[in-house]
């Protein structure tokens, strides 16, 4: 049974604990403007404009000093800033970590690591994705007006607008019914084609996607009630003996898809006019720099976000 939602503050939860292995560096704090701004800066700037009053970074503990000395210090006067760490032993136990496991346990686990501080409605975004102002405005409006604690939202993009020429990408492929998310499956290797996109089933069969296929870019709006379902799904993930002990991850789109199937929540898909771009690979950076520069030139953003 749904519970009535009491509106409090809004938090932006930034997923920044990824290892960045494909990119070849800590891309979350790689400058993209002549003023030294990162993609994260634009996310936070847009979130502030949309009415968010706190940002929480989920990071690896060893990256704390780098984040604090760069992003953290220059935004501390603009919005409340907090940090939480994604550690392998959290919700797992050190004795249960497979020998040789280095990779984090995935985005579902990342949210669970932030549970202790996420007691208000919150949005979730990736640190290395540029989502656009309109997307933040739509999520903020939804969170302000949500009537029930188990009503969530997701920003939906067309897959054709989210691909790179430099390799594969991971996207949550969505099916919607009357504006609500019906099913979502995380596909970790989607490739650009001449007619749209393609991924491969586990058995090797190719599946083609039309360019207007709705996908998730991991931009969600939640209330704290989401954690009940996430905890349940992560327990099932840990109990799955068929998974790769060194590389398997509990992925947020898959967890939310199970919650929808079980009738534990609803997710409204919010269409956005924003254009996504990002830096999945190092070769993506020049194009991203050029597109950010265009947005500054046309007045969408000031030349120097925090001046």
In a domain, 260, yes or no: yes
DSSP characters over 128-173: TEE--HHHHHHHHHHHHH--BTTEEEEEEEEGGGS--TTS-EEEEE
pLDDT at res. 35: 92
**Residue 1 domain-assigned (yes or no):** no
Q: Which residue intervals of the chain are DSSP H helices?
A: 39-50, 64-67, 73-75, 107-113, 133-145, 226-239, 252-261, 285-297
Whether the pTM exceeds 0.95: the reply is no
Other C-beta atoms closer than 10 Å to the C-beta of 203 total 5
Domain-embedded: residue 156: yes
**Residue 71, pLDDT score:** 84
CATH of the domain at 180: 3.90.550.10
Q: Is residue 218 part of a domain?
A: yes
Could you tell me if residue 304 is inside a domain? no
Instruction: Summarize pLDDT for 98-118 with one digit per residue, the tens.
Output: 999 988 899 999 999 999 999
The reported pLDDT for the residue numbered 8 is 60
Please report the pLDDT score of residue 1 as a whole number.
35
Q: Which residues face 3 on adjacent strands?
A: none
Given a cut of 50, the residues of the chain with pLDDT beneath it are: 1-7, 19-24
Structure-token pair, residue 295: 């947005």
Percent composition of the chain: helix, strand, coil (DSSP 3-state, to 5): 30, 25, 40
| 263 assigned to some structural domain | yes
Q: Can you give the residue range of the structural domain that contains 128?
A: 11-297
Return the pLDDT at 25: 53
Q: Per residue in 143-195, pLDDT tens?
A: 998 877 899 999 999 999 899 999 999 898 999 999 999 999 889 899 999 99
pLDDT value of residue 26? 60
How many structural domains is the chain composed of?
Answer: 1
pLDDT on residue 28: 56
What local confidence, expressed as pLDDT, does residue 275 receive? 76
Cα(132)–Cα(29) distance, rounded to whole angstroms?
18
Asked whether residue 30 is assigned to any structural domain, the reply reads: yes
Burial of 258 (0-12, 13-18, 19+ CB in 10 A): middle
Is residue 6 situated within a structural domain? no
């Amino acid at each position: 049974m749904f519970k009535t939602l009491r509106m409090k503050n809004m938090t932006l939860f930034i997923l920044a604990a990824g290892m960045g292995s494909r990119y070849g560096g800590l891309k979350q704090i790689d400058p993209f403007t002549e003023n030294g701004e990162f993609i994260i800066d634009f996310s936070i700037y847009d979130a502030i404009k949309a009415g968010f009053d706190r940002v929480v970074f989920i990071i690896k503990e060893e990256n704390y000093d780098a984040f604090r000395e760069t992003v953290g210090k220059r935004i501390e006067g603009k919005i409340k800033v907090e940090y939480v760490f994604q550690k392998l032993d959290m919700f797992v136990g050190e004795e249960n970590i497979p020998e040789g496991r280095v990779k984090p346990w995935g985005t579902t686990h990342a949210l669970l690591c932030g549970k202790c501080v996420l007691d208000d409605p919150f949005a979730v975004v990736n640190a290395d994705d540029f989502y656009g102002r309109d997307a933040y405005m739509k999520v903020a409006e939804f969170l302000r007006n949500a009537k029930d604690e188990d009503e969530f939202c997701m920003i939906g993009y067309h897959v054709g607008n989210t691909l790179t020429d430099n390799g594969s990408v991971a996207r949550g492929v969505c099916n919607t019914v009357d504006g609500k998310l019906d099913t979502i499956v995380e596909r970790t290797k989607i490739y650009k084609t001449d007619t749209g996109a393609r991924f491969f089933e586990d058995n090797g069969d190719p599946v083609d996607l039309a360019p207007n296929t709705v996908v998730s870019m991991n931009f969600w709006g939640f209330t704290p009630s989401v954690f009940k379902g996430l905890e349940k799904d992560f327990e099932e993930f840990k109990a799955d003996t068929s998974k790769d002990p060194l590389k398997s991850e509990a992925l947020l789109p898959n967890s939310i898809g199970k919650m929808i199937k079980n009738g534990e929540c609803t997710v409204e898909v919010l269409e956005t006019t924003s254009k996504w771009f990002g830096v999945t690979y190092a070769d993506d950076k020049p194009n991203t720099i050029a597109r950010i520069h265009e947005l500054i030139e046309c007045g969408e953003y000031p030349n120097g976000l925090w001046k």
